[in-house]
């Protein structure tokens, strides 16, 4: 079945999730053709959870000896180019690229749910970093993102209706709960394979989380690097204000479709307070309680 969505071509139900229809063939191509290497690092997320931020951080950790703060490619390229999405760019237009010549470790990202990842990702020793964000801020962020992509009113949706879609699970890469819980369970079953990060924890203690992430992906900081403030430098370089102010992120589009500036907005924990009415909140809280109550996973919704 097809549903309309912010993506002009709508969303299609595929393997238990709602895939943006314009990406469906690319997802299938990714599933059929990607061969993971043990050294690969894959960032996974539900859209609007902090993907762009994590891409900048992972790229900076891995390439820190190769580039300095003044010549890092982050200054001239969008994060999505440096850590490409399988389903948006790598397998774009159903093409089958030769990825064997990429230097190691290869960095990729995806919004595809855990259950639908290619077998080779699960069977290899490659690592998956998942970033999750509380559902209230994720929803509001998605709402704003949608307004950059098309005139949201022309789709005839109010924020209230989008809350309804979100709670029904009928939005891009939704349902939210199965996306998050799929990776959450995988991280519990196989903690060496999947690192589960929360946007709110990253905001609260960026330095600690960057160190944790670096260790997980096999690029721990040496004592000397720690003494020289390398982690602090990465944290500053990848901060919202630093990235948002770069010319490359103010102009142009990613994959000829997504305005680069649409990936940077407020970057706050708790902005939902300014948008969600008591009845919307009631509906969302009911969904959160129902879907997450036995999972052991909780969300921080204010700072
Ligand atoms: P808001 O819309 O709440 O501001 P994604 O990258 O997964 O699409 O998520 C986008 C969200 O992450 C947006 O949230 C955006 O502002 C925020 N974001 C982007 N870069 C960030 C950064 N460097 N630090 C913190 N948040 C960032």
Of 80, 111, 142, 179, which residue is the catalytic one? 111
The backbone torsions φ and ψ at residue 42, rounded to the nearest 5 degrees and listed phi first, read: -120, 125
Give all strands (DSSP E) within 70-216, no chain letters.
107-110, 127-132, 194-198
Instruction: Kindly give the distance from the C-alpha atom of residue 54 to the centroid of ligand 1, in angstroms, as a whole number.
Output: 9
- pLDDT tens-digit profile, the chain (303 residues): 555 555 556 889 999 999 999 899 999 999 999 999 999 999 999 999 999 999 999 999 999 999 999 999 999 999 999 999 999 999 998 789 999 999 999 999 999 999 999 999 999 999 999 999 999 999 999 988 877 665 443 354 678 988 999 999 999 999 999 999 999 999 999 999 999 999 999 999 999 999 999 999 999 999 999 999 999 999 999 999 999 999 999 988 887 778 899 899 999 999 999 999 999 999 999 999 999 999 999 999 998
Estimate the share of the chain in helix, then strand, then coil, as percent rounded to the nearest 5: 50, 10, 40
* Listed residue (131, 128, 87) closest to 107, CA to CA: 128
For the question of residue 111 being annotated catalytic, the response is yes
Ligand 1 pocket test, pick from 200, 262, 264 with the greatest ligand atom count within 8 Å of Cβ, gives 264
Question: What's the Cα-to-Cα distance from 302 to each of 121, 203, 240, 246, rounded to whole Å?
Answer: 34, 11, 18, 28
What ligand 1 atom has the least distance to the C-alpha of 47?
7
Give me the domains of the chain, ranges plus CATH numbers: 10-135+175-267 (3.40.50.300)
Query: Residue written as tokens 């990607």?
Result: 34
pTM of the model: 0.96
Q: Is 51 in the pocket of ligand 1 (CB under 6 A)?
A: yes
Ligand 1 atom closest to Cα of residue 242: 23
Output DSSP code: residue 46: -
259 forms beta bridges with: 253
Gap between the Cα atoms of 143 and 172, Å rounded? 12
Question: Using a 6 Å cutoff on CB, does residue 113 contact ligand 1?
Answer: no
Q: Is 165:135 a contact under the CB 8 Å cutoff?
A: no
Ligand 1 centroid from CA 239, angstroms: 10
């Amino acid at each position: 079945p097809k549903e309309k969505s912010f993506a002009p071509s709508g969303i299609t139900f595929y393997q238990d999730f709602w895939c943006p229809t314009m990406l469906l063939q690319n997802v299938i191509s990714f599933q059929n053709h990607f061969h993971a290497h043990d050294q690969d690092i894959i960032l996974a997320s539900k859209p609007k959870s902090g993907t762009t931020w994590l891409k900048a951080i992972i790229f900076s950790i891995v390439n820190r000896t190769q580039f300095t703060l003044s010549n890092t490619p982050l200054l001239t390229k969008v994060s999505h180019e440096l850590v490409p999405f399988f389903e948006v760019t790598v397998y774009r237009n159903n093409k089958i690229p030769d990825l064997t010549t990429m230097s190691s470790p290869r960095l990729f990202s995806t919004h595809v749910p855990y259950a639908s990842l290619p077998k080779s990702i699960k069977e290899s020793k490659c690592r998956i970093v998942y970033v999750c964000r509380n559902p209230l801020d994720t929803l509001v962020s998605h709402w704003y993102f949608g307004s950059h992509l098309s005139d949201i009113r022309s789709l005839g949706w109010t924020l209230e209706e989008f809350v309804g879609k979100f709670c029904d699970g009928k939005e891009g890469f939704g349902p939210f709960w199965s996306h998050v819980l799929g990776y959450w369970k995988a991280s519990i079953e196989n903690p060496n394979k999947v690192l589960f990060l929360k946007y709110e924890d990253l905001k609260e203690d960026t330095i600690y989380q960057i160190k944790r992430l670096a260790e997980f992906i096999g690029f721990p900081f040496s004592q000397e690097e720690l003494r020289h403030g390398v982690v602090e430098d990465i944290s500053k370089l990848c901060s919202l204000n630093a990235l948002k102010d770069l010319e490359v992120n103010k102009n142009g589009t990613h994959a000829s479709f997504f305005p680069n500036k649409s990936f940077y907005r407020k970057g706050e924990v708790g902005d939902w307070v300014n948008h969600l009415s008591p009845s919307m909140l009631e509906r969302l809280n009911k969904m959160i309680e129902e879907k997450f109550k036995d999972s052991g996973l909780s969300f921080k919704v204010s700072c």
